[in-house]
Chains A and B, each alone.
Chain A
Amino acid sequence: AQSVTQLGSHVSVSEGALVLLRCNYSSSVPPYLFWYVQYPNQGLQLLLKYTSAATLVKGINGFEAEFKKSETSFHLTKPSAHMSDAAEYFCAVREGGGADGLTFGKGTHLIIQP
């Protein structure tokens, strides 16, 4: 069975600082990995996804993530945080080739300090 662990339910960074949100997965087959963002009182929006092509994936709003099989990780980064990045971030996994729904991590609330 697949699972996702997001380290840190809350992460606080200063505006302009590096953003690093951690995600580790467990999957019995090569996974497909996703990062979603949820702004207050809004639905989920896809930031980026890994589908076994390039291990470094670039997404919207300056975010990127690197798939590291040896570490079973898919951490999300952004070089310089902006106040508008404050939101809830969810990492999700889907086992390769399947027609299944996503398994989500518990989410990380990103706080941007002015």
Chain B
Amino acid sequence: SAVISQKPSRDICQRGTSLTIQCQVDSQVTMMFWYRQQPGQSLTLIATANQGSEATYESGFVIDKFPISRPNLTFSTLTVSNMSPEDSSIYLCSVSPTSGGTDTQYFGPGTRLTVL
């Protein structure tokens, strides 16, 4: 299994500002994913981040709002830009050791974001 840490664990931000969330894994992984869990809701995939290539965004999510970096096989960042109260959510990093469909995805503890 993979051990995943996220920073910050929680933050309270003002409308119009940006926050960068870091995800660190204790081993090299092929696939990294970012999910959003809005209050009382399920998880929604934001994007898939592969090292050395542009992130792939799901419908409804755009790079200008959620820029992602993946500089190496153990680290990724997600930025939530120009925040509004609707961005208040838990943001979760997830990793998959390989690109196989049977692979378990492991989840980080999440970053709880509140936008005022």
Q: Which residue numbers of A lie inside 8 Å of B, CB to CB?
A: 32, 34, 36, 42-46, 49, 51-52, 90, 94-107
B66 on interface, CB distance cutoff 8 Å: no
Asked whether A106 lies within 8 Å of B41 as measured between CB atoms, the reply is yes
Asked whether A100 lies within 8 Å of B48 as measured between CB atoms, the reply is yes
Looking at the complex, which of B67-75, B78-86, B101-109 is the stretch in contact with chain A? B101-109
Asked whether A102 lies within 8 Å of B31 as measured between CB atoms, the reply is no
Asked whether A102 lies within 8 Å of B105 as measured between CB atoms, the reply is yes
Residue of A nearest to B30 (CB): A99
A-B contact pairs, 8 of them (CB 8 A): A36-B107, A43-B92, A43-B107, A46-B106, A97-B101, A99-B48, A100-B48, A104-B42
Q: Which one of B31, B106, B108 contacts A99 once the chains associate, using CB atoms below 8 Å?
A: B31
